[in-house]
Structure 1
């Protein structure tokens, strides 16, 4: 049986920061456009919100060259997720795809911010959670206020780490909405010499969430989306935060029964 000992002298990322940056930047080459372009900064966003994405958006146009541009390929791939949804939701996704790259068309960032300044209600209503999370993450690098960038960065780290540890947890054999039983705990040190979390007195989860949620509400552009995501997180029964709440309740029940 293969051993996964933590005592072996190896790195999680051999090569350290240099190797990490090489991998990170390898996926950030800008899209190559042919004759197509993103809408202008002064585009009629209300009109976009009233129009839906047709099936033809996923298909190659007769006027396109035989060899597709990288943007044409990406644009059509994104369109498959938005057929029947609003053109504004599709535009938001196209802007995010460009803003993840090292360079983007000059209007991409200000147009993205204009979407969320003027059309947040519509976007929150029509986007699925994955694209809402992608949207809040985009503020980390492209927000136009310190609050937008701070909140975006904090939630990029939060949701990114959630995806990693929730994926790993699937291998535990315990479903996401079930807290681990107390009898299953093993005695082991936490990484980085961290002190153990206290179910009875610990406030790390609150210390992580409350300041960012509060800060997000001070900026009118990012506030609606951030509040929606925090409320959704609070309602979700399958997260670490809900499992910790269940464990606290169970601990209190056990103590009360003694």
Structure 2
């Protein structure tokens, strides 16, 4: 097979070059992230000011200071604790980071999930749960993180590509226009009426999350959000199942 026939020419080496190229650590200069034993309660009661988005006198012009100001623009008016969570995630995506970063991230979610969940938007909540894939303290935390990273990542790719169809996320394709073509990798078609693939994807993750005290509340919150989401592939499958059931009942 030639590179012209590949979705990713160059295969794994080329993918790793692209992947690793985005993981260069930040240059902190003389700065650092807060210590592991920092006062989280104080951060919870303090808001991010507009000045956090501007370079201060004497502040080093490092890649981290520029990134921190960029992140701050999303958190003006929100709490310093939510801002810290985003800073930790941004570093944990890199190959290297300040030594205390993973433990401080886990401490935030072990002690302050009740504050973080209602004060972070869905984008940062998803980023938070995905960070546990690589930096969870236990196998169970990492499994939940990996499962939701894959689930939400594939959903994002599919839902974005679908926008080019001209259909809104809540609009199903209906029952009459299916093309009976080969599925990629010779997958068997999904059984719309009785198929359980969607449930098989979601139920084990949700059950595991119910039993996990640190990432579990975050994961359960996101799965409840997914369950109530009015658009997306899972809701569209429900709409199509309901239509199929009504069609059968009318016969």
TM range, smaller chain: over 0.9
Q: CA deviation at 1:64?
A: 2.0
1:201 aligned to which of 168, 190, 194 = 194
TM-score after normalising by structure 1: 0.95
Counterpart check, 1:239 vs 2:248: no
Aligned to 2:208: 215
Q: CA deviation at 1:214?
A: 0.5
Counterpart check, 1:24 vs 2:19: yes
Q: 2:31, 2:45 → 1: CA distance?
A: 22
Q: 1:118, 1:131 → 2: CA distance?
A: 18
2:57 aligned to which of 62, 79, 84 = 62
Q: 1:9, 1:116 → 2: CA distance?
A: 45
Aligned to 2:134: 141
Aligned to 2:33: 38
Counterpart check, 1:161 vs 2:154: yes
Q: 1:33, 1:9 → 2: CA distance?
A: 42
Counterpart check, 1:98 vs 2:91: yes
Root mean square deviation, CA, Å: 1.0
Q: 2:102, 2:32 → 1: CA distance?
A: 14
Q: CA deviation at 1:35?
A: 2.1
Q: CA deviation at 1:217?
A: 1.7
Q: 2:4, 2:79 → 1: CA distance?
A: 52
Aligned to 1:81: 74
Aligned to 2:47: 52
Q: Deviations over 1:45-92 (max 9, x none)?
A: 011000000000000011124xx2000110000000000000000000
Contiguous gaps of at least 5 residues in structure 1 = 1-7
Counterpart check, 1:190 vs 2:183: yes
Deviating runs (4+, > 2 A) in structure 1? none
Q: 2:46, 2:59 → 1: CA distance?
A: 23
Contiguous gaps of at least 5 residues in structure 2 = none
Q: CA deviation at 1:131?
A: 0.1
Q: Deviations over 1:18-48 (max 9, x none)?
A: 1111100000000001222100000010110
Q: 2:87, 2:4 → 1: CA distance?
A: 43
Q: CA deviation at 1:255?
A: 1.0
Aligned to 2:125: 132
TM-score after normalising by structure 2: 0.97
1:13 aligned to which of 8, 12, 15 = 8
Aligned residues: 249
Q: 2:68, 2:173 → 1: CA distance?
A: 43
Q: 2:4, 2:19 → 1: CA distance?
A: 24
Counterpart check, 1:226 vs 2:219: yes
Q: CA deviation at 1:9?
A: 5.7
Q: CA deviation at 1:125?
A: 1.0
